[in-house]
Amino acid sequence: MTDMPINWEAISLTLSLATTTTIVLLILGTPFAWWLAHTKCWCKTLLEVIVALPLVLPPTVLGFYLLISLGPHGWVGQFWQFLTGQHLAFTFTALVIGSVISSMPFVIHPLQNAFTAMGTRPLEVAATLRASPIDRFFTVVIPLSRAGFLTAATLSFAHTIGEFGMVLMIGGGIPGKTQVLSIAIYEHVEMLEFTQAHILAGGMLLFSFSVLFLLYSINKRFYTG
């Protein structure tokens, strides 16, 4: 595979993928989670089930359907090709789309729970104190739901870093292009390069532990004030 003891390309690609996925999910997921927390629409349960599906589906099932739809014969893939003239499957963009879908419950659930727990009273108070809807969102909703946002961002980031089956299916593990850390470790092991596998696997273990430890510590501080 490579003579370098540390596969920097895979590390950099994984971090870019996790960062992009988290940013996209926070931007798209916040209004959606807000809507889910407040709507009385009949389709709420249906949408909640769809959001939760990646939690229970084997990643390969998600990867399979994504590959079908992002591929050159799938409707997303064809639309992408019509817009850009390029194939979508086995690209970084495909990985981002897959990761966004796969990590969606890790963002939507904590945000929806935070918005539900906050209730409508703080917003009513802010409205009587002359705050417009946008003003209320930034000065009341976000600060009061900060633990939810932190959990959402951290879990999305950490889950994307740990993704394997789905990224392998829609990315193909092309070095420098779609080969993320989890795939790189798998390939090192297949080629009996245990030193490189140890370095990457140990690094991921340490990283995941540190991120979760930080998240739990900060959240504890938020909840105990």
Partner 1 sequence: MIQGQFQLQQGEFHFNVNFSFPNQGITVIFGHSGSGKTTLLRCIAGLIRAEGCLKINGEIWQDEQIFLPTHQRPVGYVFQEPSLFMHLNVEKNLHYGMKRVPITEQKVQLDNVVELLGITRFLKRHPKNLSGGEKQRVAIARALLTSPKILLMDEPLAALDIHSKAEILPYLEKLHAELSIPVLYISHSLQEVKRLADYLMIMKQGEITEHGKATNMLSHLDSLLKQVGWHDSPFVGF
Residues that bind partner 1 (CB under 8 A): 121-122, 124-133, 135, 139-140, 143-144, 146, 225
Q: How far is the CB of 34 from partner 1 (least distance, A)?
A: 18
Nearer to partner 1, 85 or 225 (CB): 225
Q: How far is the CB of 123 from partner 1 (least distance, A)?
A: 10
Nearer to partner 1, 61 or 131 (CB): 131
Closest by CA position to 19, among listed 148, 157, 164, 146 = 157
User: What are the backbone angles phi and psi of residue 194, rounded to the nearest 5°?
Assistant: -70, -30
- Burial label, 159 (beta-carbon count in 10 A; 0-12, 13-18, 19+): buried
Q: How far is the CB of 219 from partner 1 (least distance, A)?
A: 15
Token match 């996209």: residue?
Answer: 24
Nearer to partner 1, 147 or 155 (CB): 147
Q: How far is the CB of 133 from partner 1 (least distance, A)?
A: 8
Amino acid of residue 108? I
Nearer to partner 1, 150 or 211 (CB): 150
153/33 Cα distance (integer angstroms): 14
Nearer to partner 1, 72 or 119 (CB): 119
Q: How far is the CB of 138 from partner 1 (least distance, A)?
A: 12
49/193 Cα distance (integer angstroms): 41
- Report CA 214 to chain centroid distance, whole Å: 18
Contact 90, 70 (CB under 8 A): no
Closest by CA position to 155, among listed 216, 94, 98 = 216
Nearer to partner 1, 39 or 139 (CB): 139
Q: How far is the CB of 120 from partner 1 (least distance, A)?
A: 9
